Chain A
Amino acid sequence: MFSDRFRILKISALLLFILASCLAAQLAFHELTLEECLAAPAAYDGRRVPVALGVTLGRIEPQRFWVSGGPAEFAVEVPGGTAGLNLRSGDFFQAVTVFRRSDTGGYLELEEIRPAPLRRLKIVVSVLPVLLVAVLLVRSIRLERGFLVLRGDSGRKGGSDA
């Protein structure tokens, strides 16, 4: 598994497997969008439409909120009203909505929403561990005759540095 025998072949096969997995995932994970629903309102009436992936809350109105950050801004109707949902313009969020057909085409109606007001903080604090590990890696790993070598690790003798 780890020998130099067929090393290039192993590297190529593993790369291919990983890339193919990513490509297959991109094709397999399809979620219904408002645009698709509006293209055929009768076919999608009552279907669930997730609203997530990098979108933020736009204007908050008493009976609806606007979704920003996507290709185009659109509204989500909130049957019970937006008061009490703790929505704040600019926050990231995830929501499950239902497409409803109307005379003008259709609209999304909120089923459940989860605001993520701390998502930016999460992204910012995540930089620190990346920097710490990067510094340690630069310090711990060196290049030796074309291979990476972990300093102070005795390889098969294993654990002698513990």
Chain B
Amino acid sequence: MPDLVTHLAAGFLSGRPLRLARSAVVFYLGALLPDLLSRPFHIPFPAVFPATQPFHSPFVLFALCWLAALFFRADQRSRIFWLLYGGCWTHLLLDMLQVHLIGGYAWLAPFSWRTYSIGFLGPEDFLRFLPLSIPLILLAFVLAWRRGMPR
């Protein structure tokens, strides 16, 4: 999987045409969500890696974003869901570009455990874009911060 700087930069770039304004932060959260739910578990405890694989499945993420939306005020739930889920898709599509020596992502989990990947970029190749992606995420932060100013 690419690093989270790349994922947030991709979320920022793909969210720009949508003119998300103040709700952009929810889209950004979605762009990080699959790794936020898996890495804190499988990096310190590699044995639980399989259990975190469903967090890279569109079906499980659909349920997760729906679940998260239900904790918001009723009139905002639909928008929160689509923003989160949209952000998750930017993550999944970027991950799909990665080449895997072992396995890939179980896109159809929990209905099938077969793994898929288009695979032409190594997991560390994305780090080459850091000189570009770090300024991009800082710009995303500044813009989202300014839009969040209370009126």
Is there contact, CB below 8 Å, between A150 and B72? yes
Cα A3 to Cα B66 in complex, Å, equals 11
Contacts of B53 in A (CB 8 A): 25, 29
Tell me how many residues of A have a C-beta within 8 Å of chain B.
65
Cα A130 to Cα B123 in complex, Å, equals 19
Cα A137 to Cα B72 in complex, Å, equals 13
Is there contact, CB below 8 Å, between B148 and A21? no
Docked complex: B65-94 residues within 8 A CB-CB of A: 66-67, 69-81
Q: Which of A37-45, A78-86, A102-110, A119-127 contacts B (4 or more CB under 8 A)?
A: A119-127
Cα A31 to Cα B43 in complex, Å, equals 18
Docked complex: A121-144 residues within 8 A CB-CB of B: 121-123, 125-126, 128-130, 132-133, 135-137, 139-140, 144
A13 to chain B, nearest CB (A): 9
A43 to chain B, nearest CB (A): 22
Contact of B70 among A7, A22, A140 (CB under 8 A): A7
Cα A52 to Cα B46 in complex, Å, equals 9
Is there contact, CB below 8 Å, between B25 and A162? no
A134 to chain B, nearest CB (A): 9
Cα A108 to Cα B54 in complex, Å, equals 30
Is there contact, CB below 8 Å, between A129 and B110? no
Cα A53 to Cα B69 in complex, Å, equals 33
Cα A28 to Cα B57 in complex, Å, equals 15
B113 to chain A, nearest CB (A): 5
Contacts A122-B127, A161-B22: A26 and B63 contacting too (C-beta < 8 A)?
Answer: no
Determine the residue in chain B with the shortest Cβ distance to A126: B4
Is there contact, CB below 8 Å, between B70 and A10? yes
Contacts of A53 in B (CB 8 A): 42, 46-47, 49
Is there contact, CB below 8 Å, between A54 and B72? no
B36 interface residue, CB < 8 Å from A? yes
Contacts of B39 in A (CB 8 A): 123, 126
Contacts A11-B67, A25-B50: A152 and B79 contacting too (C-beta < 8 A)?
Answer: no
B121 interface residue, CB < 8 Å from A? no
Q: Could you list 6 examples of A-B contacts with CB < 8 Å?
A: A122-B3, A147-B74, A152-B151, A159-B19, A161-B21, A162-B19
